[in-house]
C-alpha cells in the first residue's frame, strides 16, 4: 500500500499546487473561514467517507476514513486560516483580499492533506484501522479551533495524532523533528493601572499611573532574568503602553498589553506566580488599583518521544527522491494550538522545509513577503503518508 500511495501522490502534485494557489488567492481570517470550509467540504462530496462540518467553535471539519479491517485510529491535522497581513510577495497568485494573506503556509497544509486524504479514501480497502482527517479552523486567533474540537469528544478514540508545519528553515526535501517540548506556550495579558489624575505642577495632589506603569515594565523583566531557570526559556513582552495624554496633566489611568512565552509547564507556573505577585505589589507600593486580564492562550507543545522517534526512524529508513534529508530541529519560539491535541493524545508535530530556491535569507512565516518552494507540498504529503502507513502497520 505504501508504494501505491506514494505513486498516487506523485501523480497529483500539480493538483496540490493548484489547490494551494487557489486558497492563497482567497484567504480568510480565523473564525471567518466560511468559504474555505465550504471549499474543503465540497472536495469530499460524492466520496465514500463520513464528513462532519462546523465542528468545534467554528468551521472545523472531520473526515473519517474507516479501513476494511480493525486496527488503531490515527488523526492527521491541517489548519486553514489566514492572517490580517497585506501581501507583498511578488507571486502571480497573490491574495485577492486586501489586508488578508496566507502568510503562514496554511494554504499548503490544506492542499497536501486534501490530496493525501483522497488517496487514502481510494485505498481504504487496504487500510487497517481508521484515519481521521482534521481540517482545523482558527489556529492563528486565540482561543483557536483545536481545543474546541477536542472538547467535542469526536477525537476521544484517536490513538495517535500527527501534523506538520512548513518552515523556511531548510530547503524543500528536508524534514525536521524535535522530541519533547518543541513549541512555546503563550499567555496574553492586559493590565489597567488606576491612579489619581491631576495637574503636572502638583504631583502631591495626584497619584501618577504612568510612574507605576514604568516601574511595572522594568520589574516584570526580572521574572525571566531572576526567577526562571537560566537553562529554560521565558519571554515577557510589553507590546503596548497606552499612556498618551497631555504634557502638563498627570494621567488618571493607563493600560499595558503584552504576551508571555514559556518553553514548558514549569516555566509557565513560575512566570504566572511572579507576574501576579508583582501586580499585587504594585498596588501596595504605589497606592494604585490594578485590573488584570491574564489569559493563557496555547499551552507548550509537547511531542511524544516515542512517536517522534517513529517519525524520525520511518523517514530516515526510506529511499525517496523527494525526501532528501531528515534531521533534528531546535525548539521553536512560536506557539501553535496543535498543543491542545497533544495534551490528551500522544503524537508528533514535525516540520517541512520550504525555503524558496535560490534564496539565502528567506522571509519567515507571518511576513508580508512570505513565500514557499511548492516542492514542499509533495514532501509534506509523502512524509505524513509514510508515517501514517508505519503507525497503522500498512507496509
Answer whether residue 170 shows pLDDT above 60.
yes
Structural domain ending residue among the three candidates 298, 322, 351: 298
- 294 with 196, same domain: the answer is yes
* 177 and 68 in a common domain: yes
Whether 187 contacts 259, CB under 8 Å? yes
Q: What is the pLDDT of residue 395?
A: 57
Summarize pLDDT for 187-206 with one digit per residue, the tens.
999 999 999 999 999 999 99
What 3-state class would DSSP assign to 244? coil
Residue-wise pLDDT tens digits, 330-366: 999 999 999 999 999 999 999 999 999 999 999 999 9
Contact 172, 16 (CB under 8 A): no
And the C-alpha cell for 293? 486580564
Give residue-wise pLDDT tens across range 193-240: 999 999 999 999 999 999 999 999 999 999 999 999 999 999 999 999
Active site residue 81: yes
355 contacts: CB under 8 Å, gap ≥ 6? 168, 169, 170, 171, 172, 362, 373
CATH of the domain at 192: 3.30.70.360
Whether 394 shows a pLDDT value over 80: the answer reads: no
Q: What is the mean pLDDT of residues 271-290?
A: 98
* 88 carries an active-site annotation: no
| pLDDT (tens digit per residue) in 95-131 | 999 999 999 999 999 999 999 999 999 999 999 999 9
Provide the CATH number for the domain around residue 107. Answer: 3.40.630.10
Q: Dihedral angle at the C-alpha atoms of 216, 219, 220, 221, nearest 10 degrees?
A: 130
Indicate the residue among 242, 271, 298 that finishes a domain. 298
Number of structural domains (the chain) is 2
Q: What is the pLDDT of residue 31?
A: 98
Are 72 and 174 members of one domain?
yes
Burial of 69 (0-12, 13-18, 19+ CB in 10 A): exposed
Grid coordinates representing 177?
A: 523533528
Instruction: Tell me the average pLDDT across 303-325.
Output: 97
Do both 195 and 130 map to the same domain?
A: no
| Pairwise CA distance, residues 238 & 218, whole Å | 10
DSSP state of 121: H
Instruction: Examine the domain organization and report whether 170 and 222 are in the same domain.
Output: no
- Looking at the structure, tell me whether residues 288 and 248 fall in a common domain: yes
Residues 174 and 193 in one domain: no
Residue with cell 502638563: 248
In this structure, the answer to whether residues 149 and 205 fall within a common structural domain is: no
For 48-90, write each residue's pLDDT tens digit. Answer: 999 999 999 999 999 999 999 999 999 999 999 999 999 999 9
Residues 33, 139, 336, 375: which is the catalytic one? 139
Question: pLDDT averaged over the chain?
Answer: 97
Residue 228 · residue 257 · CB < 8 Å:
no
pLDDT at 393: 87
Beta-bridge partner residues of 136? 79
CB atoms within 10 A of CB 119: 19
Residues 237 and 369 in one domain: no
Structural domain containing residue 268: 185-298
Same domain, 45 and 153: yes
Q: Answer whether 109's CB lies under 8 Å from 351's CB.
A: no
Which cell is 330 given? 531546535
Last residue of a domain, one of 239, 271, 298: 298
User: What's the predicted TM-score (pTM) here?
Assistant: 0.93
Q: Please check whether residues 68 and 208 belong to one and the same domain.
A: no
Sorted by sequence, the CB contacts under 8 Å of residue 351 that are 6+ apart come out as 164, 165, 166, 167, 169, 175, 176, 177, 178, 329
Question: Catalytic residue among 81, 140, 208, 274, which?
Answer: 81
Percent of the chain scoring above 70 in pLDDT: 99
Q: Is the peptide bond before 143 cis (omega within 30 degrees of 0)?
A: yes
Helices 13-25, 106-122: inter-axial angle, 10-degree rounding: 140
**What are the start-end ranges of the E strands in the chain?**
50-55, 60-66, 69-79, 128-136, 160-171, 174-177, 180-183, 185-194, 198-199, 234-242, 249-250, 253-262, 289-298, 301-303, 325-328, 347-355
Whether 26 and 124 map to the same domain: the answer is yes
SS3 82: strand
Amino acid at each position: 500500500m505504501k508504494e501505491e500511495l506514494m505513486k498516487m501522490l506523485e501523480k497529483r502534485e500539480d493538483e496540490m499546487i493548484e489547490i494551494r494557489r487557489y486558497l492563497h488567492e482567497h484567504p480568510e481570517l480565523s473564525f471567518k473561514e466560511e468559504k474555505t470550509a465550504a471549499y474543503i467540504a465540497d472536495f469530499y462530496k460524492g466520496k465514500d467517507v463520513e464528513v462532519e462540518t462546523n465542528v468545534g467553535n467554528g468551521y472545523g471539519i472531520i473526515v473519517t476514513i474507516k479501513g476494511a479491517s480493525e486496527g488503531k485510529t490515527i488523526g492527521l491535522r491541517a489548519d486553514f486560516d489566514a492572517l490580517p497581513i497585506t501581501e507583498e510577495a511578488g507571486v502571480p497568485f497573490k491574495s485577492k483580499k486586501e489586508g488578508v494573506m496566507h502568510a503562514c503556509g496554511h494554504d499548503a497544509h490544506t492542499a497536501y492533506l486534501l490530496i493525501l486524504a483522497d488517496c487514502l479514501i481510494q485505498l481504504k480497502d487496504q487500510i487497517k484501522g481508521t484515519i481521521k482527517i482534521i481540517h482545523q479552523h482558527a489556529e492563528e486567533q486565540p482561543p483557536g479551533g483545536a481545543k474546541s474540537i477536542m472538547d467535542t469528544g469526536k477525537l476521544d478514540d484517536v490513538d495517535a495524532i500527527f501534523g506538520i508545519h512548513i518552515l523556511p528553515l531548510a530547503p524543500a526535501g528536508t524534514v525536521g523533528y524535535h522530541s519533547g517540548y518543541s513549541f512555546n506556550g503563550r499567555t496574553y495579558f492586559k493590565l489597567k493601572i488606576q491612579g489619581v489624575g491631576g495637574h503636572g505642577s502638583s504631583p502631591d495632589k495626584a497619584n501618577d499611573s504612568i510612574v507605576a506603569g514604568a516601574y511595572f515594565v522594568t520589574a516584570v523583566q526580572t521574572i525571566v532574568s531572576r526567577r526562571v531557570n537560566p537553562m529554560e526559556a521565558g519571554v515577557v513582552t510589553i507590546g503596548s503602553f497606552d499612556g498618551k495624554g497631555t504634557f502638563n496633566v498627570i494621567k488618571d489611568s493607563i493600560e499595558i498589553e503584552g504576551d508571555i512565552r514559556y518553553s514548558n509547564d514549569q516555566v509557565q507556573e513560575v512566570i504566572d506566580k511572579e507576574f501576579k505577585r508583582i501586580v499585587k505589589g504594585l498596588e501596595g507600593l504605589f497606592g494604585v488599583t490594578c485590573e488584570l486580564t491574564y489569559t493563557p492562550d496555547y499551552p507548550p507543545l509537547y511531542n511524544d518521544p516515542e512517536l517522534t522517534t517513529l517519525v524520525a526512524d520511518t523517514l530516515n529508513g526510506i529511499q525517496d527522491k523527494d525526501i532528501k534529508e531528515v534531521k533534528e530541529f531546535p525548539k521553536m519560539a512560536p506557539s501553535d494550538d496543535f498543543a491542545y491535541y497533544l495534551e490528551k493524545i500522544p503524537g508528533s508535530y514535525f516540520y517541512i522545509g520550504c525555503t524558496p530556491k535560490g534564496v539565502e535569507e528567506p522571509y519567515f512565516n507571518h511576513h508580508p513577503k512570505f513565500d514557499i518552494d511548492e516542492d514542499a507540498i509533495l514532501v509534506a504529503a509523502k512524509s505524513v503518508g509514510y508515517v501514517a502507513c508505519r503507525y497503522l502497520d500498512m507496509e
